[in-house]
Amino acid sequence: MAIQWFPGHMNKARKKISEAMPEIDLVIEVLDARLPWSSMNPMVDELRGEKTCIKVLNKADLADPAVTNDWVNYFSQQQNTKAIPLVAEDRNQVKKLVALCKQLGQKRLEKKQAVRIMIMGIPNVGKSTLINALAGRYVAKTGNEPAVTKSNQMIDLKNGLVLSDTPGILWPKFENEQSGYRLAASGAVKDTAMEYEDVAPHTLGYLLQHYPQPLSQRFKLKELPPSGNDALLAIAAKRGCLKPGGIADLHKAAELCLHELRAGKIGRITLETPDVIKAELEVLEAQRLAEEEALRASSQSPDGSS
């Protein structure tokens, strides 16, 4: 699914981040624990350079804990990277994040200098909720709609840490089509930029493969449907999502499915694993190489010369 959503303020955010980065000591990238890879922004690692980054897997209470652990191990193996699962509303977990930031910024604290932290993340991963939790007060606007934060601000936590908030930034086109589906399913993409009837069957197909029991229990499915489309039809019938004449209202059923997924009502579910991503990236690389080879072949004359 090709989603293109890149409001003007996001272009400005990239420029501001690039200008501010030299004065930053530590980067926190907030990710959605249900889709840690797809909710990363490629610009974060590009713009931070060699600065240490804490990958915060937020909304961990909605994600599969075993898979979250796999992702923490995956990110922690990367250079200058730490990773922790988190529920931003849990004060004790937020305290652990503060302690980690102080540990990583110990040299500045020893000099009586504040650790300057930039918080980054794509829309709707809980960045503003985390900032409010760190500050212990309401300083950043939150909301269920993506792209609530429109401008950056400096927040002194009065504990040796200073936060630089940035607007949510999202790249204009996803190289991996599967990531587009996952972001749409999670709510990171505005509902107006995607079709429920397109996203829900794709998501249900994944759940049938990886979380069949929670899916069947939630929607009281006696038999597992063979595909995501069939699952959507079955759920429409079970939940009374019907138009006049008994015709399935697929939009209503799809909306219901995605909202229950986002609320955690189907269970603690993660929409991607490191192995799944590895396989998808291998397919993308094979496609890229094939396209390059086809381009080279088409540029050759019949006798084989350029």
Which domains are assigned to the chain? 8-165 (3.40.50.300), 195-262 (1.10.1580.10)
- pLDDT recorded at residue 10: 62
The band of 17, judged by pLDDT with boundaries at 50, 70 and 90, is confident
Per-residue pLDDT at 198 exceeds 70:
yes
- pLDDT recorded at residue 20: 86
Per-residue pLDDT at 75 exceeds 80:
yes
Per-residue pLDDT at 47 exceeds 70:
yes
3-state secondary structure 72-92: HHHHHCCCCEEEEECCCCCHH
Q: What is the pLDDT of residues 289-305, one digit of tens each?
A: 998 889 888 887 565 55
Higher-confidence position of 193 and 20: 20
Per-residue pLDDT at 28 exceeds 70:
yes
- pLDDT recorded at residue 128: 86
Per-residue pLDDT at 71 exceeds 70:
yes
- pLDDT recorded at residue 149: 43
Q: What is the pLDDT of residues 255-293, one digit of tens each?
A: 999 999 999 999 999 999 999 999 999 998 999 899 888
Q: Are strands 242-243 and 52-58 parallel, antiparallel or unpaired?
A: unpaired
Q: What is the mean pLDDT of residues 20-48?
A: 91
| 163 touches 119 (CB < 8 A) | yes
The DSSP bridge partners found for residue 54 are 28, 82
Q: What is the pLDDT of residues 204-250, one digit of tens each?
A: 999 999 999 999 999 999 999 999 999 999 999 999 999 999 999 99
- pLDDT recorded at residue 305: 54
Min mean pLDDT across 87-101, 131-145, 269-283 is at 131-145
Higher-confidence position of 155 and 6: 155
Nearest to 23 by CA among 155, 117, 156, 120: 117
- pLDDT recorded at residue 261: 97
Dump the DSSP string for 21-75. Answer: GGG-SEEEEEEETTSTTTT--HHHHHHHTTSEEEEEEE-GGGS-HHHHHHHHHHH
Min mean pLDDT across 17-31, 76-90, 143-157, 203-217 is at 143-157
Q: Are strands 153-156 and 161-165 parallel, antiparallel or unpaired?
A: antiparallel
Measured from the Cβ of residue 124, the count of other Cβ atoms closer than 10 Å reads 26
pLDDT averaged over the chain? 87
Q: Measured between alpha carbons, how far is 240 from 251 in angstroms, rounded to an integer?
A: 12
Per-residue pLDDT at 53 exceeds 80:
yes
Q: Output the furthest CA–CA distance in the chain (Å, rounded).
A: 74
Per-residue pLDDT at 8 exceeds 90:
no
- pLDDT recorded at residue 187: 87
Per-residue pLDDT at 52 exceeds 90:
yes
Q: What is the mean pLDDT of residues 6-25?
A: 76
